[in-house]
DNA sequence: GATTAATGCTAAA
DNA sequence: TTAGCCTTAATCT
């Protein structure tokens, strides 16, 4: 379920806590035993994210490739060089949250016994990470990693030179509905169902507009707003697309009920115009939108 | 205790 | 277009 911002946070956390560390790699669940053998005992030199694809590069040239899919998640723990145990990925209660077994003392005695179906366990001298429920988990070569990246569109969280123009071109090349194109990872890498709905609302774009009918200026605004809202998501560790003025009680943090404009708000009045928010299925996913604002 | 839905994607039909 | 993947939390009986 995580969108791109969660995967970028993962890459940052893996770089911080495992970068340059020699890792023991195992598969308590048993489904990744062969891959684990190829990686165990090697040093993780770099953690990378592009869209929702996640890679760990090891010093001998192989990569661990992970895609969390709909319900994958990592959980962590370790000694004081870790910021405390946490989990990132599918919601374990509300968004991403601390999983509660932080060990902040200096008496780290190794990882706990695996709970549930742990596909991969990584263990360093200072901590551990467990992966559950991922769609993709593989040990691959540099060429194979390159092939995965080649299929993807620009990632708004990288926002490299030329990315904005590339997105605009890819969006306007196809007559598919813009709501589908925003979730097409070859057009835009990292956006999922929440950012899709929220950015379309914020930019007042009709979700059924064909890509070919989106003007350059509007396409540019979609990119810019995606960069902005997803960057906030990386910083906050949750998706908040509403401004503080809409948070009840003047709260410093957005209450969950106030965090979105349309996502999961079907039947409730639009925060801007009062029209009831609608929901429909498109591409086997739910699309939320305001029939009043997004003409 | 059983069922369903979820921030996703692939491959088969 | 549909089934399936494989996990958890929330929502039912």
Average pLDDT of each block of 10 consecutive residues along chain A (295 residues)? Answer: 89 92 93 94 97 96 94 86 61 40 58 85 92 93 94 96 97 95 96 96 97 97 98 93 92 90 95 96 92 94
Q: Where on strand C do bases come within 7 A of a protein Cβ?
A: 2-10
CATH of A163-289, picked from 3.40.50.2300, 1.10.8.50, 2.60.450.10, 3.30.565.10, is: 1.10.8.50
A254 touches strand B (CB under 7 A): no
Q: Which nucleotide is nearest to A69 (CA to C1')?
A: B8
- What's chain A look like in SS3? CCCHHHHHHHHHHHHHHHCCEECEEECCCCCCHHHHHHHCCCEEEEEEEECCEEEEEECCCCEEEEECCCCCEEEEEECCCCCCCCEEECCCCCCCCCCCCCCCCCCCCCCCCCCCCCCEEEECCCEEEEEECCCEEEEECHHHHHHHHHCCCCCCCCCCCCHHHHHHHHHHCCCCEHHHHCCCCCCCCCCCHHHHHHHHHHCCCCCCCEHHHCCHHHHHHHHHHHHHHHHHHHHHCCCCCCCHHHCHHHCCCCCHHHCCCCCCCCCCECCCCCCECEEEEECCEEEEECCCCCC
pLDDT tens for A21-79 read: 999 999 998 889 999 999 999 999 999 999 999 999 999 999 999 999 988 999 888 88
CATH fold for the domain made of A4-150 = N-terminal domain of MutM-like DNA repair proteins (3.20.190)
Contact call for residues A21 and A124 (beta carbons, < 8 A): yes
Query: CA of A83 and C1' of B12: distance in angstroms?
Result: 44
Q: Where on strand B do bases come within 7 A of a protein Cβ?
A: 6-10
CB atoms within 10 A of CB A134: 23
Per the annotation, the verdict on A175 as an active-site residue is: no
Per the annotation, the verdict on A3 as an active-site residue is: yes
pLDDT of residue A101: 43
pLDDT tens for A25-40 read: 999 988 899 999 999 9
Could you give the C-alpha distances from A275 to A48, A199, A262, in angstroms and in order? 42, 18, 11
Residue A92's DSSP bridge partners are: none
A window 5-44: Cβ near strand B (< 7 A): 6
Instruction: Identify the active-site residue in A9, A52, A170, A202.
Output: A52
Q: Where are the domains of chain A?
A: 4-150, 163-289
Q: Which nucleotide is nearest to A186 (CA to C1')?
A: B9
Q: Which nucleotide is nearest to A72 (CA to C1')?
A: C7
Query: CA of A184 and C1' of C11: distance in angstroms?
Result: 31
- Sign of CA pseudo-dihedral A48, A220, A200, A184: negative
pTM of the full structure: 0.92
pLDDT of residue A104: 44
pLDDT of residue A93: 35
């Amino acid at each position: 379920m995580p969108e791109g911002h969660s995967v970028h946070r993962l890459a940052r956390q893996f770089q911080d806590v495992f970068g340059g560390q020699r890792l023991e790699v195992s598969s308590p669940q048993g489904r990744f035993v062969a891959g684990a053998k190829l990686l165990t005992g090697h040093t993780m030199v770099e953690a990378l994210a592009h869209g929702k694809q996640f890679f760990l590069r090891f010093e001998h040239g192989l990569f661990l490739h992970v895609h969390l899919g709909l319900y994958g998640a990592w959980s962590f723990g370790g000694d004081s060089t870790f910021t405390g145990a946490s989990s990132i990925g599918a919601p374990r209660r509300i968004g991403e949250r601390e999983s509660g077994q932080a060990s902040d003392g200096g008496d780290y005695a190794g990882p706990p016994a695996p709970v549930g179906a742990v596909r991969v366990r990584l263990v360093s001298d200072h901590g551990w990470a467990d992966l559950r429920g991922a769609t993709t988990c593989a040990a691959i070569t540099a060429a194979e990693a390159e092939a995965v990246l080649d299929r993807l569109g620009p990632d708004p969280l990288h926002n490299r030179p030329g990315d904005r123009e590339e997105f605009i071109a890819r969006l306007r090349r196809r007559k598919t509905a813009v709501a589908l194109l925003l979730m097409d990872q070859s057009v835009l890498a990292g956006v999922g169902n929440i950012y899709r709905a929220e950015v379309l609302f914020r930019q007042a774009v009709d979700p059924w507009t064909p890509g070919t009918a989106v003007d350059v200026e509007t396409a540019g605004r979609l990119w810019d707003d995606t960069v902005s809202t997803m960057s906030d998501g990386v910083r906050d560790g949750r998706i908040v697309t509403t401004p503080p003025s809409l948070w009840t009680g003047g709260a410093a943090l957005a209450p969950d009920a106030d965090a979105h404009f349309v996502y999961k708000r079907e039947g409730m009045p639009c925060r801007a115009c009062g029209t009831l928010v609608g929901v429909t299925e498109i591409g086997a996913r739910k699309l939320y939108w305001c029939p009043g604002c997004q003409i």
